Amino acid sequence: MARLTILEHREIADNMRWLLFEAPKDLQYQPGQFLHIRVTDGVDHLLRRPISLCKVDGGRKALGVAYRVGGKGTKLLAGKNVGDTLDVLGPLGKGFKLHEGDRHAILVGGGIGVPPMVELADQLHRNGVKVTAIVGFQSKSVAILIDDLKQYGDVLVSTNDGSLGRQGFVTDYMTDELLASADRFYACGPTPMLRAVQAKMEGRVAGYLSLEERMGCGIGACMACVTSCRLADGSIGYKKVCKDGPVFPAPEVYFA
Amino acid sequence: MARLTILEHREIADNMRWLLFEAPKDLQYQPGQFLHIRVTDGVDHLLRRPISLCKVDGGRKALGVAYRVGGKGTKLLAGKNVGDTLDVLGPLGKGFKLHEGDRHAILVGGGIGVPPMVELADQLHRNGVKVTAIVGFQSKSVAILIDDLKQYGDVLVSTNDGSLGRQGFVTDYMTDELLASADRFYACGPTPMLRAVQAKMEGRVAGYLSLEERMGCGIGACMACVTSCRLADGSIGYKKVCKDGPVFPAPEVYFA
Amino acid sequence: MIDLSVNIGSLKLKNPVMPASGCFSFGKEYADFYDLSQLGAIVVKATTLEPRLGNPTPRVAETPGGMLNAIGLQNPGVEKVIAEELPHLRKYDIPVIVNVAGTTVEDYVAVTERLMDSEDVDAIEVNISCPNVKCGGIQFGTDPAQAAHVTESIKKVSKVPVIVKLSPNVTDIVSMAKAVEAAGADAISMINTLVGMSIDLNRKKPLIANGVGGLSGPAVKPVAVRMTYQVAQAIQIPIIGMGGIMDGEDAIEFLMAGAAAVAVGTANFVNPLACPEIIDGIRQYCEQNGVASVSDLTGVAWK
Amino acid sequence: MIDLSVNIGSLKLKNPVMPASGCFSFGKEYADFYDLSQLGAIVVKATTLEPRLGNPTPRVAETPGGMLNAIGLQNPGVEKVIAEELPHLRKYDIPVIVNVAGTTVEDYVAVTERLMDSEDVDAIEVNISCPNVKCGGIQFGTDPAQAAHVTESIKKVSKVPVIVKLSPNVTDIVSMAKAVEAAGADAISMINTLVGMSIDLNRKKPLIANGVGGLSGPAVKPVAVRMTYQVAQAIQIPIIGMGGIMDGEDAIEFLMAGAAAVAVGTANFVNPLACPEIIDGIRQYCEQNGVASVSDLTGVAWK
Ligand SMILES: Cc1cc2nc3c(=O)[nH]c(=O)nc-3n(C[C@H](O)[C@H](O)[C@H](O)COP(=O)(O)OP(=O)(O)OC[C@H]3O[C@@H](n4cnc5c(N)ncnc54)[C@H](O)[C@@H]3O)c2cc1C
Ligand SMILES: Cc1cc2nc3c(=O)[nH]c(=O)nc-3n(C[C@H](O)[C@H](O)[C@H](O)COP(=O)(O)OP(=O)(O)OC[C@H]3O[C@@H](n4cnc5c(N)ncnc54)[C@H](O)[C@@H]3O)c2cc1C
Ligand SMILES: Cc1cc2nc3c(=O)[nH]c(=O)nc-3n(C[C@H](O)[C@H](O)[C@H](O)COP(=O)(O)O)c2cc1C
Ligand SMILES: Cc1cc2nc3c(=O)[nH]c(=O)nc-3n(C[C@H](O)[C@H](O)[C@H](O)COP(=O)(O)O)c2cc1C
Ligand code: FES
Ligand code: FES
C-alpha cells in the first residue's frame, strides 16, 4: 500500500484514459496483475477499483494503467491531475505465466481487457517469443493501445461495427493455421469473449484467461470475488479472482 | 447559489485561514450575513458550513471570509487551492443594521466572531461613524484581522492568556466612559461573551448580537437553527438563526 | 414527449417528484429559488393540533453520507397552518399534501377534521413514524395493529386521500404496510428516518440535544430501496418512495423498486434546486432509455 | 503508560480492537500487512457444520458511505476450519473468537461442540443475525425467545465465553439484548449489517445476485452507536461495538456509547492497516485527553 504520484494522465480514446504512476519502491510485478486504487480519500466511494497493470517502464520507474471512465468512481479518478497522489494497493493477484520454450503466443484482448496485454507482449517479446495480438473493440472511437502492441508483434484488430479492422469478433481471426502455429494463448476481456476463446482453444492451444469480478478487499479476505472453477478433484468450486487470479489456466475456468 | 472561484487562500494565524472568492454577479450583501459553503462535491460531508462575510472588495469584485480549521469539513476546505471553485449559497440571513445619525459604535468580536466586524467597521467608517473595535482571542497565536480593523478606528485587544493586548475579557474594556460615548454596539462571538456583553449593555447602549447555531438548510426551511428569543408579545419563542438572524437586536436574544 | 405524470390514489401529479415533509417547511423559502409549480406535489411540515416548540438545539448533526435531525415536530399548530401557511400555496398548480402528527389517535383525528375545513388540502400524510417525539408517534409506527387503528380512524373523517408514512425502525415493514393497506390507506410513503446517534467527543455526550435523532440522506438509501422493493410486492396501493434521493438516477432506483412517486428530503439542504434537477434527471433517463411513460418504470426490478 | 486492556467476560484483551467476522477471513491475508499480535483479538469468518458455497456473484456493491455484501456464509465447514485454519493463529498471542452460524439450533450446538475439541478456540461468537442466508439465521436474530433459546443451548455445551451477535433489523434491540443476557450470554456484539438493496439501472435488477445484501461501513455508524447506547444501559454484560468504525475517533464514540471493545469490518477493505491504526488512534486520544485506562471510557456518554 502506498500513495503513488501521478506522472501522466490523459485521454487516449473516447472515455478511455491513460494514467502513469511513479512506481513504488522495490516494485515486484507480473503482467496481468492489478492495482487496487482508491478514487477518493472521503467515504463516499469506499471500495477500491481494480485496474490491470498495463505497462511498467523500468527506465522511468513508472507504472501505467489504461481505464474506461464509466461509473462514479472512475469519473472521480478521471478528475485527478498530474502531481496528485492516489492510495494504491498492489500489484495484487496472480498474473500471466510465461513458459520457457514457447516460441509463439497469441494474445487476445477485448475492450478494457486489452491493457494487460501490453506488458505481457513486451515481456514475451523480450524473451524471444513471437507475439500475435488479436484485439477487439466496440468501435474505432474506443480502440486503445494498438500502436503500443505493434512494437512487439503483429496486431489483428476487429470491431463490432467494422469502423476499424475487420468487422466481427476476435475469434474470427483464430484460423486453424494460426492455432497450429501457437504454443500458448493469453486472453482478457468480457465474459462472452472469454467463453468463445476458451471453446476455440480447448484441446488445441494451452493458455490462460484473466477474469473480472466485483471486489471488496482485493487481497483474498472477504470472499466477494469468487468465480466457479474446476478444482483439482474435478468438482466445481469457487476460487477468488483477486488472490487465486485474476489469471487462471483456461481449463480451470468454468462458465456456467 | 453559485460556484465561486477561489482567488486567495492562506493561513493568517494558527489554524485560521483567509479565503477570498470572486464575487457572484449582482452581489447584494450586508455585513453580518453569512455564506453557506459546501466543502466537497461528494456526499461524505452533506451539510454546508456557515461562514460570515468578512470583507467585500468592491474594486476587485471579491468576497473574503476568515475561518478556523477545526472539524472535518473545514479541514477539507483548507485543502482547496486558488483557482478551485466551491459551491456557495448566499450571502444569507439578516446582517447588522446601520443607523443614520449614529456617531460612535462599539464593535465587539471574540475569536471567529471577529471576521464580520471588518466589513461592518468599513461601512461604519465610510458613513462617518467613529469605530471602537474590542476584540478578544484565546492567545496571540490565533489573533486575526487586527490590522484590518485598525484601518477603520481604534482596536482594543484582549487575550485569555495575556500573550497579546490586555489579559482578560472584552468586557474589561467596557468602561462607563466608553459606553456613555457610544450610540450603538455590535457583537459576535462565543455565547458566554455575548451573554456578558448583553448584560453590560442592557439599558445603556442599544445594539445587536450575532448568534451561532448548527444549521441544516441555511434558508429557513428545516427549523434546525432555532434560538430562544423574546417575541413581540413578551413570550419566549424560537426564531431561526439562518433566516431571522444571525444578527438580532440585543434585547430580543434570550439566554436561558 | 415523455409522460411524467403519475397517480397516487385519486391524486394526479404532473411528475413523480415532491419534497419530503419537514425538509421544505411550507414552501416559501424554496419559492425564492424556483417556481414551485414545477413540482409533482408539495408535502408540508408535520402539523399537530396545538403549536409545538420542538426539541432544544443542537437539532442536526452531520454523519458520513447523511445527517441526523431531531427537530421534534416544531410547528405553529393546525389553526395557524390553515390560516397562514396553506393559502399561499394555492397559487401553484400542484396538490398540497399535509403531514399530520399527534400523540393520540384523537389528536390525529382532530387535526384531520380541522384540515377538512380547508380548501387547501389535497391529501393527508399520516406521520406515524417520527422518531423524535418522546411520547406518541413511535408506537403507531412499530405496531401493525395500532397503525391500522390510526389509519382507520383518520380514513373515517378524511375526504381526501390518506397516505400513511412508515417507519423503517421495524423488524417487518411488510406487515406494517399490509396492515395500513387493509385499514384503508390510499397510499404509503416510506421511509421516515432511521433512529441514530452521534456522540460529541469533546462534550462526551450525544451531539444532538435530544440524544437520538433521525438519520436521513444517501447513507440510508439502500435500506429505503430494499424496503420499497419488499413492500411494493406485497401491496396494491401506490408507494411514495424516499430516503437519500440526491439525483435522477437515485429516483429511478426507487421507481424500479416499486415506488409510483418519490420524495426528496435532505437533498434540498445540499442543493436548493434538488427537486427540479431530479425531475430533469428523470426526464433525461426516460429519453435516453426509450421510456415513454415514467409509470412504466414502477416495479420493473421485480415484475 | 495508558492501559489499553479490556475484559470481555473472562477473556483478557490487550487492547479493545478486533477485526469483525467475515471481514478478515482467517487472518492470513492481513498477516502480510502487519503482525496480528498487535490486535486485541481475532474474530474469524462464520463457520457452519458443513462446507458452504455461499451466494452467486456479484456479492458486493458500493453504496454512499458504505457497501452491501451477500457472501452468504461461504466457509469450508467446521472440520476444515479446525484442521486447517485455526492452528496457524496460535502463533499470535491473542484470543481467537470463532463466529458460528447455522440454520437450526442443532446446527449451532453441533458446531460449538465440535469446536470444543479444539485447543484453538477462546470464545464463540454466535451469529444469529446474518441477513444473507435465506432460511435460518434471521429468525433467531429478530425474535427474543428464539435468540434466548439458541443462546441457552450453546451455553450448555460451550466451555469458553459465548458472545451473541445482534441484528439491527429489529424494532426493539434492547429486548433482544436482555433476552440473550438472561439466557446466559457472556457478552454481546453488535451490530451486524442492516438489510439493504441497490438496483442496477442498466440491468433493471438488484445489483447483488442475492437481491438483498447487508449494509456496512460509515453509513450505518449512527444506527450502531444509537443501539449500543441503548443496549449498554439495559444490560450488565460487556458489548463489542461495531458498524462503520474507520478511525480511532469512531472507536472512541462506541466506547463512550457503552461498548467495552470494538470490531472493525469494512474499514479493512479500504485500508488493510485499519486495525493497527485504530489502536494507535485510541492510544493517542487517551494520551491527549488524560485517560489512564481505556476501560474508563465505556459508557461515559450516559454514566
Ligand atoms: C482484475 C481486474 C482488472 C481490471 N482491469 C481494468 C483495466 O485495466 N481497465 C479498465 O478500464 N477496467 C478494468 N477493470 C474493470 C474496472 O475495475 C471497473 O470498470 C471499475 O471498477 C468500475 O468502477 P466505476 O467507478 O466506473 O463504476 P461504479 O459503478 O461506480 O463501481 C462501483 C463498484 O463496482 C465495482 N465494479 C463496477 N464495475 C465493475 C467491473 N466491470 N468489474 C469489477 N468491478 C466492478 C467497482 O470496482 C466498485 O467497487 C478490471 C477489473 C478487474 C476485476
Ligand atoms: C452564522 C454563522 C457564521 C459563522 N461564521 C464563521 C466565521 O466567519 N468563521 C469561522 O471560523 N466560523 C464561523 N462559524 C462557525 C462555523 O460554521 C463552524 O466552525 C464550522 O461549520 C465547523 O465546521 P467543521 O467542518 O470544522 O466542523 P464539523 O464538526 O465537521 O462540522 C459538522 C457539522 O456541524 C456544524 N458545526 C460544527 N460546529 C459548528 C459551530 N460552532 N457553529 C455552527 N455549526 C457548526 C457544521 O456546520 C457541520 O454541519 C459561523 C457559524 C454560524 C452559524
Ligand atoms: C430536518 C428534517 C425534518 C423532518 N421532518 C419530518 C416531518 O415533520 N414529518 C415527516 O413525516 N418526516 C420528516 N422528516 C423525514 C423526511 O420526510 C424523510 O422521510 C427522510 O428525511 C428521508 O428522506 P431523505 O433521505 O431524502 O431526507 C424530516 C427529515 C429531516 C431531515
Ligand atoms: C464482506 C462482509 C462479510 C461479513 N461476514 C460476516 C460473517 O460471516 N459473520 C458475521 O457475524 N458478520 C459478518 N459481517 C458483518 C461484520 O462482521 C460487521 O458486523 C458489519 O460489517 C458492521 O461493521 P463494519 O461497518 O465495520 O463493517 C460481514 C460483513 C462484511 C462487510
Ligand atoms: S475481493 Fe475480497 S476475497 Fe477477493
Ligand atoms: S438552518 Fe434550516 S431553518 Fe435555519
Across the interface, whether the CB atoms of C197 and D225 are under 8 A apart is answered: yes
Tell whether A54 is in a known binding site.
Answer: no
Distance from CA of C30 to the nearest CA of D (A): 26
Nearest CA to ligand 1 atom 8: A52
- At B182 the pLDDT is 96
What pLDDT score does B59 carry? 83
| C286 in catalytic set | no
What is the average pLDDT across B117-139?
97
Amino acid identity at B199: A
Residue C135 pLDDT: 46
Query: Which 8-state DSSP code applies to residue B98?
Result: P
Cα gap A104→C244, rounded to integer Å: 55
Query: Residue D136's domain spans which residues?
Result: 6-54+72-192+217-297
Q: Which pLDDT score is estimated for A59?
A: 83
Instruction: Tell me: do B128 and B176 sit in the same domain.
Output: yes
Sign of CA dihedral D284, D287, D293, D295: negative
CA C79 to chain centre: 22
CB B51 within 8 A of CB B37: yes
The C-alpha atoms of residue D82 and residue D117 are separated, in whole angstroms, by 9
Question: Other CB atoms closer than 10 Å to residue D153's CB: what's the count?
Answer: 17
CATH of the domain at D224: 3.20.20.70
Query: Which pLDDT belongs to residue C137?
Result: 47
Same domain, A81 and A108: no
Specify whether A86 is located in the same domain as A165. no
- Chains contacting chain D through 3 or more C-beta pairs under 8 A: A, B, C
Classify residue C197: in a domain, yes or no: no
Cα of B12 from ligand 2 centre, angstroms: 18
Place of cell 450453546: D154
pLDDT digits (tens, 9 = 90+) for B204-256: 999 999 999 999 999 999 999 999 999 989 899 999 999 999 999 999 999 98
Interface A-B: count of C-beta contacts within 8 A: 10
Q: Is the pLDDT of residue B36 over 50?
A: yes
Predicted local distance difference test score (pLDDT) of residue D131 = 59
User: How many secondary structure helices (H) and strands (E) does chain D include?
Assistant: 10, 16
**CA distances, B47 to each of B241, B244, C265, C266 (Å):** 16, 20, 13, 9
In total, how many domains does chain B have?
3
Span from the CA of A49 to the centroid of ligand 1 (angstroms): 6
D116 lies in some domain? yes
Handedness of CA A16, A21, A24, A25 (dihedral sign): positive
Angle between helices D144-157 and D173-182 (to 10 degrees): 30
Domain stop point among B48, B66, B92: B92
Do residue B173 and residue B106 come from a single domain? yes
Q: Let me know if residue C170 belongs to a domain.
A: yes
Model ipTM value: 0.96
C-alpha count within 13 angstroms, C-beta hemisphere, residue C220: 32
Q: Select the residue from B77, B191, B217, B235 to test the C interface by mutation, using most C Cβ atoms within 10 A.
A: B217
Q: Which residues face A109 on adjacent strands? A: A135, A188
Residue of C nearest to B44 (CA): C65
Let me know if residue C169 belongs to a domain. yes
| C-beta of residue D72 within 8 angstroms of C-beta of residue D59 | yes
Q: Are B122 and B152 in contact (CB under 8 A)?
A: yes
Atom of ligand 6 nearest to the CA of C269: 2
Q: Which residues pair with C206 in a beta bridge?
A: C199
* Cβ <8 Å between C74 and B237: no
Question: Which among A214, A222, A223 has CB closest to D58?
Answer: A214
- Closest to D60 in 3D by CA, of D51, D48, D69: D69
Q: Which residue of D has its CA nearest to A37?
A: D270
Residue C48 identity (one-letter amino acid):
T
How far is C-alpha C165 from the chain's CA centre? 6
Q: How far is the CA of A59 from the centre of ligand 5 (A)?
A: 33
Q: Are residues B115 and B61 in the same domain?
A: no
Would the CB of A215 count as within 6 Å of ligand 5? yes
Residue B95 pLDDT more than 50?
yes
CA separation for the pair D224, D230 (Å, rounded): 10
Residue C208 lies in a domain: no
Angle between helix D248-257 and helix D221-232 axes, rounded to 10 deg: 30
Judging contacts by C-beta atoms under 8 Å, the chain D residues touching residue A225 are 57, 59
For residue C58, report the distance from its CA to the centre of ligand 2, in Å.
Answer: 12
Structure confidence at residue D137 (pLDDT): 47
Whether residue C53 lies within 8 A of chain B, CB to CB, comes out as yes
User: Cα separation of B246 and D211, whole Å?
Assistant: 48
D207 inside domain: no
Cβ(C80)–Cβ(C108) below 8 Å: no
Both A32 and A123 in one domain: the answer is no
Cα gap A133→A149, rounded to integer Å? 7
Pocket of ligand 6 (CB under 6 A): B 215-218, 220-225, 240, 242-243
Tell me how close the Cα of C218 comes to any Cα of chain A, in angstroms. Answer: 9
Q: Does residue D224 have a pLDDT over 90?
A: yes
What is the Cα–Cα distance from B235 to B231, expressed in whole angstroms?
Answer: 5
Detail the DSSP E strand segments found in chain A. 2-13, 16-22, 34-37, 49-52, 55-57, 62-68, 85-92, 104-110, 130-137, 153-159, 166-167, 184-188, 207-210, 226-230, 236-240, 247-249
- Residues D66, A216: Cα–Cα separation, whole Å: 11
DSSP for D65-88? Answer: TEEEE-----B--HHHIIIIISGG
Radius of gyration for chain B, computed over Cα atoms and rounded to the nearest angstrom: 18
Q: Which position has the grid cell 458460528? A: D100
Q: Which residues pair with B55 in a beta bridge?
A: B64
**Which stretches in chain A have pLDDT values below 70?**
none
Strands (E), A69-211: 85-92, 104-110, 130-137, 153-159, 166-167, 184-188, 207-210
Does the beta carbon of D59 lie under 8 angstroms from any beta carbon of chain A? yes
Q: Cα(C21) to centroid of ligand 3, in Å?
A: 5
Cα distance from C175 to chain B (closest Cα, Å)?
31
pLDDT in tens, B13-27: 999 999 999 998 888
What would the grid cell of residue C239 be? 408507494
- The whole-angstrom separation of Cα D235 and Cα D243 is 20
Which chains does C contact via 3+ CB–CB distances below 8 A? Answer: A, B, D
Using a 10 angstrom Cβ sphere, with 0-12 exposed, 13-18 middle and 19 or more buried, the burial of residue B235 is: exposed
Q: Which amino acid is at B145?
A: L
Flag whether D303 is in a domain.
no
Determine the residue among D171, D208, D227 to mutate to test chain C binding: the one whose Cβ has the most chain C Cβ atoms within 10 Å. D171
Quick one: which of D25, D77, D75, D63 has its CA closest to D214? D63
**pTM attached to this predicted model:** 0.97
Q: Which ligand is nearest to the CA of A221?
A: 5
Q: Can you give the pLDDT at residue C132?
A: 52
Domain count, chain D: 1
Residues 6+ apart with CB under 8 A from D159: D116
- Total length of chain A: 256
Confidence label for D80 from pLDDT (cuts 50, 70 and 90): very high
**Partners of C96 in beta bridges:** C42
Which residues surround ligand 1 with Cβ inside 6 Å?
A 34, 47, 49-52, 65-68, 70-74, 112, 115, 212-215, 246; D 62
pLDDT at A232: 87
State which ligand 5 atom lies nearest to the alpha carbon of A222: 2
Give the residue numbers of D marked as catalytic: 130
Query: Based on the domain organization, do B52 and B63 belong to the same domain?
Result: yes
A51 is annotated as contributing to ligand binding: yes
> How many Å separate Cα D275 from the centre of its chain?
14
- Quote the cell numbers at residue A223: 470472499
Number of A to C CB contacts under 8 A, please give it. 4
Judged against a pLDDT cut of 80, whether residue B116 lies above it is answered with yes
Average pLDDT over residues D29-47: 96
D222 touches chain B (CB under 8 A): no
- Rounded to an integer, the average pLDDT of D278-282 is 98
Nine cell digits for residue A196: 468463445
Chain A residue numbers touching D22 (CB-CB < 8 A): 222-223
B147 burial class (0-12, 13-18, 19+ CB within 10 angstroms)? exposed
> Does A113 share its domain with A204?
yes
For A217, the domain range is: 213-256
Q: Is the peptide bond before C191 cis (omega within 30 degrees of 0)?
A: yes
Sequential DSSP letters for B101-151: T--EEEEEEEGGGSHHHHHHHHHHHHTT-EEEEEEEESSGGG--SHHHHHT
Residue-by-residue pLDDT tens, chain C, 303 positions: 899 999 999 999 999 999 999 999 999 999 999 999 999 999 999 999 999 989 999 999 999 999 999 998 899 999 999 999 999 999 998 999 999 998 889 999 999 999 999 999 999 999 987 655 544 445 788 899 999 999 999 999 999 999 999 999 999 999 999 999 999 999 999 999 999 999 999 999 999 999 999 999 999 999 999 999 999 999 999 999 999 999 999 999 999 999 999 999 999 999 999 999 999 999 999 999 999 999 999 999 999
Compute the distance between CA of residue B189 and CA of residue B196 in angstroms, rounded to an integer. Answer: 11
Provide the 8-state DSSP code for B1.
-
- Evaluate whether residue C200 is within a structural domain: no
Query: In angstroms, how far apart are the furthest CA atoms of chain A?
Result: 53
